[in-house]
Structure 1
């Protein structure tokens, strides 16, 4: 089985994440997309993150009607801070019959050469890249690599930061979130302070 790994803090997961994940599941050779909830990105301030359990629960709520999209807490069990290369080694050991690929935006591909052991990742895993307004594929050094697949997915420019900021301001962001995720956030009064 070919699995696409879509990593994120999903703080919160929004319709943009689902549009990309579903497009990859339906319009590429991936059999499933796993939404890997990252416990803590070293580049993000920890205090802006909801508790790991709440973010995972929102991913469950958002994906339960999508049979090809699965939530994953695999990184919760790994030492922190964690690197993608370590997660891939762990997953390959745990699921030897699966073939794991990465899903990332063009903006992440630009800095991919700075990732820990990126050459090892490229040697063993395909990378599925979706477009971003802020990036131009022509300028990507790795775009012609045989393991890189540029997918003509919809360009979605919704950010979790925008959603959090607007909830704090009392704005209605409900259309940007799956209904069950919105209800979970509203019920728990998340992001209001």
Structure 2
């Protein structure tokens, strides 16, 4: 089957939360994405965060996305033994879906760091980028040349983050309604983030 528009949504998904799902659904609907791949990172090159085991982050992402027929979870990055670089992942999916347009979804937090990413110019050459507004991140002073190349979704701001959820769990604060119920149950069963 031919897919015209393939979306990629990489992240640590530590844990995947409702903000990720809202961003993904809005992205799919606005840009007529045929298939959106959530791609949990194996070894992140930029984030120095204690991660739940990659197999568990993959499983939680599968649990979170199972209700949407356009959402898929790729194990491409978690199978790798070396750090995951976005440009390599983009090139891999461009090769797999060579007749399709590749779109990359990221939040403002990632956009503000993109110039530090390895070979970031190859990402722009091989994918259309879409940046989603995140509460607390301002792109007004960001590189204007890069901003001209990016599709922006700024009429919805997500105020949920994985780090906020992990912090709430550590402090014993309620966090259930930031997560898909299956992900919440999985975290409770595994005892993650305490």
Instruction: Tell me the TM-score normalised to structure 2 length.
Output: 0.89
Equivalent residue pairs, number: 189
Check the 8 A contact 2:131/2:153 in 1, yes or no. yes
For the 8 Å contact 1:33–1:70, the answer to whether it is kept is: yes
2:39 to 26, 36, 53: 36
SS of the residue corresponding to residue 9 of structure 2 reads: strand
**Structure 2, unaligned runs of 5 or more:** none
Structure 1 unmatched runs, 5+: none
Matches within 5 A, 1:1-193: 1=3, 2-45=5-48, 48-141=50-143, 142-145=146-149, 148-192=150-194
Provide the C-alpha distance between the structure 1 equivalents of 2:76 and 2:135, rounded to a whole number of angstroms: 30
Q: Would you say the 8 A contact 2:94–2:126 is kept in 1?
A: no
The CA deviation string for residues 61-86 of structure 1, in whole angstroms up to 9 with x for no partner, is 11110111111111123351121111
Q: What is the SS of the residue equivalent to 2:37?
A: strand
The two structures, once aligned, show a CA RMSD in angstroms of 1.7
Q: Which has the higher strand share?
A: 2
Contact 2:55 2:78 in 1 (8 A): no
